[in-house]
Amino acid sequence: MNLSRKLGLLLGPILFFVFTNLPNTIVSEKGDAVIAVALWMVIWWITEAVSISVTALLPLVLFPLLKIMPIGEVGANYGSPIIFLFFGGFVLALALENVNLHKRIALNIIKITGTTPNKVVLGFMIATASLSMWISNTASTVVMLPIAMSVIGLLINDADGFTKNDRNFALSVMLGIAFSANAGGIATVIGTPPNSVMIGLLENEYNIEISFLKWMVIGVPFSTVMIAISYFVLVKWMFPNKQLKFTASKEIINTELQKLGPMSGKEKMVLSIFGVTVFLWIFRTLINEIFPGLGLSDTIISMIAAISLFSIPYNLKKGDFLIKWKDTQRLAWGILILFGGGLALAKGMSVSGIVDLVAHTIAASEISILLTAVLLIFLMLFMTELMSNVALVAVLAPVVAGIAIGLEIPILYLLIPVTIASSCAFMLPMATPPNAIVFASGYIKVHQMARVGIILNLIAVALLVVMFQFIVPLIF
């Protein structure tokens, strides 16, 4: 265990005990207790002294003991509908991975975009982003990396060796995969955990519902623009690969597709369930209008998909189902607990009056609304370079909601851009799993990622400010 983790392990509980035994109250007795728990959680989340999912369990123990909320109310947050929406999404992603459908989709996208160097980079980026909308950013990066390594291997072993143009191409592909994995997840509710934390907070605390389609209306365009900008920054500005030619990449893609063979019956069944689920998510509002008594929600659709995958047999005689419960050993259970912890902390901030205090303080000050939005977006985006974006949203989202109330603007206007900012970490290898995975390939140095990343971070801030000022008010 490194020094920062050791310090964090001790500092978290020490700050908690100091804060719970102050001679005078800062907010209120209950408010100070919530701040004490939040401090403990933030210290452990930043230093990763213990697993971030274990840290998320602290409210379950501490809130009842400190008389903030009874355990029944705290526990309800860990079983929130949004958690089951994500569970269903995880099961769907698991099924896609089990039958190698995600790899087939990725390879076909790369094949369609073409095999000239810049088109290969674009193909990898589109394929990674398309996968990241539905499966975890980490899984989509892991799928793309070996295919990318095979293509780069052709350049290393060709007649002229590994030239500067070859290096630029390798950098563009690797960074393109990481950046499009991060940006691609923004496009859907289930694409990246921070989106779900925010939507869960809105449903639990403010009775505001954002449908799957409504999120895509704002998420897909932002994701597309961010990926397009990343592509041009990489191949046209930072790492151009002029006069680079190779045709063997087409052979690699075809070879990989041949290894997969023709689409199996199992793949077709999983693809059908995936297609129907996405269709229902997108047209849920329209379906509910046609059948008023139905009451379909995104969570119900997600759970129908999960139960279908477990219960529809592929081969009834052999008792072979599309996925089995043992497959869920690979499910990211820790993320689901992390959601619950974030929602519990948000509820604690609300019932203890912290959110109201923030709202009143902001209302009493004469801060410009635009400047506040810029600072919050900037703060979220650059802080997420150093700590888990889910944990960060879990802590800051309730505070941002309080600030929006204080500024007398709709909560969504501020909360959506600030939440999206948490998924725009392009600068450091430790910022997101996709960044770390491509960095581990050995083709990228920290300064190269940081040089491109700082440009993309600042562009993302500018785009999110535009979103705050013009786009979110137009849609919501």
- Partner residues linked to 320 by β-bridges: 315
pLDDT of residue 160: 59
> Considering the domain boundaries, does residue 321 fall inside one?
yes
Looking at per-residue confidence, does 254 or 5 come out higher? 5
pLDDT tens per residue across span 367-417 = 889 999 999 999 999 988 877 888 889 989 999 999 999 999 999 999 999
Place of tokens 């999404």: 89
The C-alpha atoms of residue 66 and residue 118 are separated, in whole angstroms, by: 58
Q: Note whether residue 88 is domain-resident.
A: yes
pLDDT on residue 120: 87
Q: Kindly report which listed range (158-162, 278-282, 324-328) carries the lowest average pLDDT score.
A: 158-162
> How far apart (Å, rounded) are the C-alpha atoms in residues 272 and 257?
20
Sign of the alpha-carbon dihedral angle for 130, 131, 132, 138 = negative
Mean pLDDT of 356-369: 83
Q: Total structural domains in the chain? A: 1
pLDDT at 377: 95
Q: Does residue 365 form part of some domain? A: no
* Closest by Cα among 208, 146, 156 to 177: 146
Q: Which residues contact 7 (CB under 8 A, 6 or more apart)?
A: 47
Structure tokens at 108: 């076909």
Dmax over Cα atoms in the chain, in whole Å? Answer: 75
Backbone angles phi and psi of 313, in degrees to 5: -75, 140
Inter-residue long-range contacts of 2-5, CB under 8 Å, 24+ positions, other chains counted: 4/47, 5/47, 5/48, 5/49
The percent of residues in the chain predicted with pLDDT above 70, rounded, is 96
Instruction: Grade residue 158 by pLDDT with cuts at 50, 70 and 90.
Output: low
Q: SS3 for the chain, per residue?
A: CCHHHHHHHHHHHHHHHHHHCCCCCCCCHHHHHHHHHHHHHHHHHHHCCCCHHHHCCHHHHHHHHCCCCCHHHHHHHCCCHHHHHHHHHHHHHHHHHHCCHHHHHHHHHHHHHCCCHHHHHHHHHHHHHHHHCCCCHHHHHHHHHHHHHHHHHHHHCCCCCCCHHHHHHHHHHHHHHHHHHHHHHHHCCCCCHHHHHHHHHHHHHHCCCCCHHHHHHHHHHHHHHHHHHHHHHHHHHHCCCCCCCCCHHHHHHHHHHHHHCCCCHHHHHHHHHHHHHHHHHHHHHHHHHHCCCCCCCHHHHHHHHHHHHHHCEEECCCCEECCCHHHHHHCCHHHHHHHHHHHHHHHHHHHCCHHHHHHHHHHHCCCCHHHHHHHHHHHHHHHCCCCCHHHHHHHHHHHHHHHHHHCCCCHHHHHHHHHHHCCCCCCCCCCCHHHHHHHCCCCCCHHHHHHHHHHHHHHHHHHHHHHHHHHHHHHC
Locate 400 and state its tokens: 């941002």
Q: What distance in Å separates the CA atoms of residue 26 and residue 28, rounded to the nearest whole number?
A: 6
Residue 205: domain span: 82-330
- Look at residue 251 and tell me whether its pLDDT is greater than 80: no
Amino acid found at 390: V
For residue 125, which of 454, 456, 373, 466 has the smallest C-alpha distance?
456
Note the pLDDT of residue 224: 97
> Bigger pLDDT: 52 or 11?
11
Tokens standing for residue 185: 């997840």
Q: Please compute Rg for the chain using Cα positions.
A: 23
Average pLDDT over residues 432-447: 87
- Is residue 242 domain-resident? yes
| pLDDT beyond 80 at 118 | yes
Q: Tell me which amino acid residue 413 is.
A: Y
Residue 23 domain-assigned? no
What pLDDT sits at residue 14? 94
53-79 pLDDT, tens digit each: 899 999 999 999 999 999 999 999 999
Instruction: Please check whether residue 338 lies inside any domain of the structure.
Output: no
Signed CA dihedral, 258, 262, 267, 273: sign only = positive
pLDDT for 204-247, tens place per residue?
A: 889 999 999 999 999 999 999 999 999 999 999 998 877 666 66
When the pLDDT of each residue in the chain is averaged and rounded to a whole number, the result is 89
Residue 467 is predicted with a pLDDT of 96
Query: Looking at residue 162, what is its pLDDT?
Result: 63
Does residue 153 sit within a domain? yes
Distance CA 154, CA 169 (A): 12
Whether 166 maps to a domain, the answer reads yes
What is the spatial distance between Cα 281 and Cα 284, in angstroms, rounded to a whole number?
5
- pLDDT at position 248: 60
Give residue 159's pLDDT.
56
